[in-house]
Each structure stands twice: as C-alpha cells, then as structure tokens.
Amino acid sequence: MERFVALYRGINVGGRNPVKMDGLRAMHERLGHRAVESYIQSGNIVFSGKGPAATIARMIAAEFARSFGFAARVIVVPGAAWGGAVRRNPYAGFSAERPKTVHAGFCEGTPSVKGLEDLRQRTGGTEEFVVAGGVVYLHAPDGFGTSKFAAGMEKACGVPMTVRNWCTVEEIAEMIKGGDPR
C-alpha cells in the first residue's frame, strides 16, 4: 500500500458543512484505507491505500456524498508527490522564518502560469508565486487572508486547487513518514 493525502475543500469552514474528523476517518476505513489519520478540522486525511490517486479521489468523493449528505471536493496527493512538493519549496527561507506566510496550492491538473501572472499584475500586491510539479507555491508576506491574489488563485490557474499553509504541509509530511505503508 502507498501513502496518500486527501485534501478536502469546503468542510468545517465558518460553521458550514460540519464534518467530524472521527466520522471522516471511519469513512476512509470503510473504503479499505489503512493507517488513517486526520490533521486539524479542515479536512486533511493521511492514509495508506491502493490505486491511482485520481481513482481514489473519485471513490472518496462518492462515498463522502453518501456518508455526509453533501458533496465536497477532494484532491488526493500521493505521499511521494507530497514529499517532492516539500523538497521543491522555493520559499524555504521564508517558511523557516515565517511559515504562515508560505502556502502550497495543490492542483488537480496543470495550473496556468499565465493566468496567475495576469492576476498578480492586476492585484498589485506583495505576493510572489512559483508553479512546480502541479503545486502553486505562494509567499504572501502581508497575510493570506487579506490577499486579493490568494482570493483569485483558483480561478486564475484554471484548475481545481486547495491551499494549505506551510505549517500544515510540514505536519502532513511528518504524518506520511510515520504511517504504516503495508
């Protein structure tokens, strides 16, 4: 079995679409996933499973809708790809000093660099970004929550994405290493 990360969007945000993590972990176990762990309440699940990430994501999305009564987007990232994303971080210096200013947008497909660059020009903020390996790395020195660039990233890149701050990325990387790969 291989390690994977399931990144959910739109659950437990602002009191909407509440999902208890013990229920989400149990759903993954019903799907045959092993060594299932969750990280914080925003829908980060690390597990061992078999098959291509895209197939697993479709199975998870269907079971999620059945189990919880609403649809949620889920992006599944193989553990090896997650480790590669951590190693490729072009903002490692910033993430070491101020990790909450660095974010990784995990994409379902290839993000449009041109679309993101156009957005950056329009918003005129202090943000910088790099696209590598299907991940949009974002350095937002003035904060993610107030960033007009961050608010428009998914539309600009043209593919579904979900963003995690660098503290979360590193915690998940540690969880991947510690899991039962059998």
Q: Each residue of 10-42: pLDDT tens digit?
A: 888 777 888 999 999 999 999 999 999 999 988
Average pLDDT over residues 151-169: 96
**Do 106 and 75 belong to one domain?**
no
Give the domain range for residue 53. 2-81
**Do 166 and 87 belong to one domain?**
yes
Number of domains composing the chain: 2
**Of 82, 53, 76, 35, nearest to 178 (Cα)?**
35
Average pLDDT over residues 53-70: 96
**Do 107 and 74 belong to one domain?**
no
**Do 6 and 59 belong to one domain?**
yes
Whether 175 is covered by a domain: the verdict is no
Average pLDDT over residues 37-52: 95
Whether 29 is covered by a domain: the verdict is yes
**Do 77 and 94 belong to one domain?**
no
**Do 70 and 97 belong to one domain?**
no
**Do 111 and 150 belong to one domain?**
yes
Whether 180 is covered by a domain: the verdict is no
**Do 36 and 73 belong to one domain?**
yes
Q: Check whether 156 has a pLDDT greater than 90.
A: yes
Q: What per-residue confidence (pLDDT) applies to 179?
A: 62
For the whole prediction, is pTM greater than 0.75?
yes
Domain end among 81, 101, 136: 81
Whether 178 is covered by a domain: the verdict is no
Whether 71 is covered by a domain: the verdict is yes
Question: Phi-psi category of 43—alpha, beta or left, where left has phi over 0 and alpha has psi -120 to 50?
Answer: left
Domain end among 81, 110, 125: 81
The 10s digit of each residue's pLDDT in 135-145 is: 999 999 999 99
